[in-house]
Amino acid sequence: MASTRPVVGITCDIITHNGIDRAAAAIAYAQCVADAGGLPVLISPVGVHAGDAFRTLDALVLTGGDDPRTEPFGEPTHPAATLVRPERQAFETELLEAAPHSLPVLGVCLGMQMMALVSGGRLDQHLPESCQTHADHDRAVHPVIPESGAWLPEGQVHSKHHQAVSDPGSLRVLARAHDGVIEAIGDPMSPFRLGVQWHPERTADSGLGADLFRRLIAAARP
């Protein structure tokens, strides 16, 4: 019998363990999707074409990870970057370029940054050079304040990043941190297309944690 739960694709990183490359994602993403009523499915970043994925998916979660190469988006990559595997970056770029406008998408940390880059935006590639309060974003909890008219609540979030979106491109800024760092972006013309710089799968504040996955699933239901 086919599942009545929306099928949610979760992007994976490529890690090397005992000399073998493996596709992996933190189990917390899958747990949050399942708790919200979705059916989590991990998507390998190799051997899958975006068009094939979208024939079976009802929603997409772009997970966190290392730093993107920015040469494909017209800027040199900062020397402090810890680079994501090129196979993953290429696959997630393809996913974002091909995703139907109606497909609900939640981008987390790196996922948000990829959403901005693919939408014509830019990154601040090393917050320690530009932000005096950069330590507040590295394995820390800090406040998030929604922009006027945005639906996100104010609250406390868990962050771990040294890069941030400086320009969301065609997307809209939805929230900022206490120091002005962009914390959430979205597409107001889409049923649900949200990028967050924090980690909702690790955030205790339900309005900025579990509720984001519930909203994703609600948008994916027919």
- pLDDT, residue 2, reads 55
* The token pair that represents 115 in the structure block: 């959403």
DSSP E strand boundaries for 18-97: 20-24, 39-43, 59-62
- pLDDT, residue 3, reads 64
* The token pair that represents 53 in the structure block: 């994925």
Amino acid at residue number 77: T
- pLDDT, residue 1, reads 43
Read off the pLDDT of residues 22-73 as tens digits, 9 standing for 90 and up.
Answer: 999 999 999 999 999 999 999 999 888 888 888 899 999 999 999 999 999 9
The rounded distance, in Å, linking the Cα atoms of 172 and 159 is: 20
Task: Report the predicted TM-score, pTM, of the whole model to 2 decimal places.
Answer: 0.95
The per-residue pLDDT string of the chain (222 residues; one tens digit each, 9 = 90 and over) reads 456 899 999 999 999 999 999 999 999 999 999 999 999 999 999 888 888 888 899 999 999 999 999 999 999 999 999 999 999 999 999 999 999 999 999 999 999 999 999 999 999 999 999 999 999 998 889 999 999 999 999 999 999 999 999 999 999 999 999 999 999 999 988 999 999 999 999 999 999 999 999 999 999 987
The SS3 assignment for 168 reads coil
| Helix (H) or strand (E) run with residue 122 in it | strand 122-124
* The token pair that represents 175 in the structure block: 């929230």
- pLDDT, residue 166, reads 97
Q: Which residue, chain included where needed, has tokens 């940390």?
A: 109
